[in-house]
Structure 1
């Protein structure tokens, strides 16, 4: 049985970023991935400056600039009449203010960029596909893992980056998924000549429409103006897409046009779940990061960003000879502040028309330029990404 100093479980955004950050610390890692091959499916993703800054430090700055879209801002609009409620300036302003851009792209594109970077930094055999972690046992001398192909592997340290359905998380809690009461419908509308007419007017931007019990988001994901469309609505359990435009009857015509095009393009639909907070994210030799540690609903576009922050932090701690307790201590306050903001957004995004909705709209209109600084300007401690 081969011994590996550090094993990362999961080859998603969290796991690949962890392997890359460890390589920058001079620490080799093996990445285990249950899927038999790289997966390039999925919709779009927003990468805020707090994540982009880390990825730049890991050498991905040029690749992101070449493959991603840099929207000029985020518009928040009212559901029925499209009235502009709030505006967050991004583009060059974000790059100057935070030393990093705000990007949008497809998840598949981001995965490809990370896989390429990991291969170049760590070697072609770093990620081992078709070898998921089935269970693990920790002792004073190391961690023994049983893998999905029936083999065993020994590790000095195990980092669980295996997402919402994490096996490594069971080391700390045998908890169950919690349904949020919402479901999401998502697709990417093709750009270029095959794209829906009229959706490419003006500069690239993220647009969020807020309304009673539901919201809709759209943003471009490539230079061909392909557009990610996400519709979230209250539902007691996950169902099929059904009549999605009908579910938004009475909303602004721009929303209905987007949803009609999305319904014709083929929708992916699933329920939104999270898990209860973990009492701890680490033991002596095992830790969890990203959704395996602190899954959150996608209402602030920060889930992947916090996973990237986690990856850089845990790699920096290990690179400086620290222990896993230091990683958790450095991350816990930050993570739970963001989780609290996400939980608040679950309510404020979906208010029925009335006094509370009007108060929210006034707050959005009066939001100062530095309102997102706490979120976007978070800095990983010096030395965590060399």
Structure 2
């Protein structure tokens, strides 16, 4: 049902680019509108778990990613101050990749162009107008553009989400996160390490090509803007982790210009679609970065959205089937990420007990810790016929 249909996608991030390629592979004529002057991404690293790799394989991009990104061997939980390992989870049972966000964006953009997707840059969207057929959007320059089918992959501050649901009221979690990329040792093992401390934690893993990713989170009362482009003083980051082990302090000594953003909890959207328009990715279900699933959720959305549009005779039926397939899973993933934030920052007796339990589980039943996430990583969004 998509062959020859005109589909407009707002946003050239991971969600928008993956959706654009998936839609184009089904025969749609896809145009992506992006506010920047080119496709670029200033972010740091990402973990792509097996459920994300299944989508990339279905999109024909898994081999391209494998050439760019090291395959993860394990996840280690480490006591931040002492540097002692608390638990180790092998990743041998599935394909996990560590990749720079910019490299994934470039791969998806190349794939979209190869599938015939067209791009319109310097197109900042001011508002989306729904209720009349077809949907329309207005750019900051004043142009009003109609779309046969409109997909909102325009992130946390989505104009299409606002048109469907009204203004959102995000909740500041009183946590902030820094992200940075530094040089990696040539022999760095492809292991994701989580250094846990009271009220803070730091995650690091190599990205290949001589780079190491760092994401550090601290609890604080002072409000911080929810922006991916706010730069911070590296001394502030180092001070926040001054009690951590020498390995962490050594990495942070190499950070020259960390990016800082406030972590906000957004509600999962109530309305995902209407009037031949639908939202996906962060526009529909923003998540905190504590389950490493934000990018993967966007990839899953992209495949399911294109699949349902290809299988159903009407846009309304397709979008309803897309939401039915995705909303319960995404809500559960968001809640699991919220819970992980608390688990990493324990203190006192609770911390001592939790670490003892983790050490015992890691020694006696090493697969049990990762098995808890089988519902996450074992999911295959590409499997079976559309609902």
Report deviation, 1:94: 3.2
Deviates more, 1:80-89 or 1:133-142: 133-142
Alignment-derived partner of residue 176 in structure 1: 169
Q: Report the CA distance shift for 1:384/1:162 in structure 2 as closer, same or farther (over 3 A).
A: farther
In the alignment, what sits opposite 1:81?
82
Residues 1:38 and 1:384: Cα distance change in structure 2 (over 3 Å): farther
> 1:74 is paired with a residue of what secondary structure?
strand
Question: Please, what is the CA RMSD of the aligned residues?
Answer: 2.1
Of 311, 318, 323, which residue of structure 2 is paired with 1:328? 323
Spell out the pairing of 1:297-316 with structure 2 (5 A cutoff): 297-316=288-307
Partner of 1:141, secondary structure, is coil
CA deviation digits over 1:217-263, x for unaligned, max 9? Answer: 111112x331011111012322843432222122111111111222x
Shift in Å, 1:364:
6.5
Cα distance between partner residues in 2 of 1:344 and 1:74: 18
Quote the residue 1:103 is aligned against: 97
Equivalent in the alignment of 1:12: 13
Distance 1:361 1:170, change over 3 A: farther
Per the TM alignment, residue 352 of structure 1 is displaced from its structure 2 partner at its CA by 1.0
- Quick check: 1:32–1:131 contact (8 Å CA) kept in 2? yes
Gaps of 5+ in 2: 226-231, 362-366
Name the CA shift for 1:204/1:271 in 2 (closer, same or farther; >3 Å): same
| Structure 2 partner of 1:349 | 344
Q: 1:266 Cα deviation (Å)?
A: 1.9
- The yes-or-no answer on 1:288 pairing with 2:279 is yes
With 50-59 and 37-46 compared, the bigger mean Cα shift is at: 37-46
SS at match of 2:157: coil
Q: CA deviation at 1:54?
A: 0.1
* Contact 1:313-1:381 at 8 Å conserved across structures: yes
Residue 24 of structure 1 deviates from its aligned partner by: 2.0
Correspondence for 1:220: 206
Offset at residue 53 of structure 1 (A): 1.0
- Partner SS for 2:138: strand
Equivalent positions of 1:246-261 (< 5 A) are 246-261=239-254
Residues 157, 357 of structure 1: alpha-carbon distance in 2 compared, 3 angstrom cutoff: farther
Contact 1:130 1:148 in 2 (8 A): no
CA deviation after TM superposition for structure 1 residue 132, in Å: 2.7
TM-score by length of 2: 0.88
Classify the secondary structure of the residue corresponding to 1:334. helix
The CA distance in 1 between the partners of 2:149 and 2:354, in whole Å, is 49
Shift of 1:133: 2.3
Q: For residue 233 of structure 1, give the secondary structure of its aligned residue in structure 2.
A: strand
Provide the C-alpha distance between the structure 1 equivalents of 2:266 and 2:243, rounded to a whole number of angstroms: 34
Per-residue deviation, 1:363: 4.2
Runs of 5+ consecutive residues of structure 1 not aligned to the other structure: 96-100, 192-198
Distance 1:311 1:47 in 2: 15
**Which whole-Å deviations, capped at 9, do the CAs of 1:339-384 have from their partners, x for residues lacking one?**
1111111211111131355235514752615222111011115367
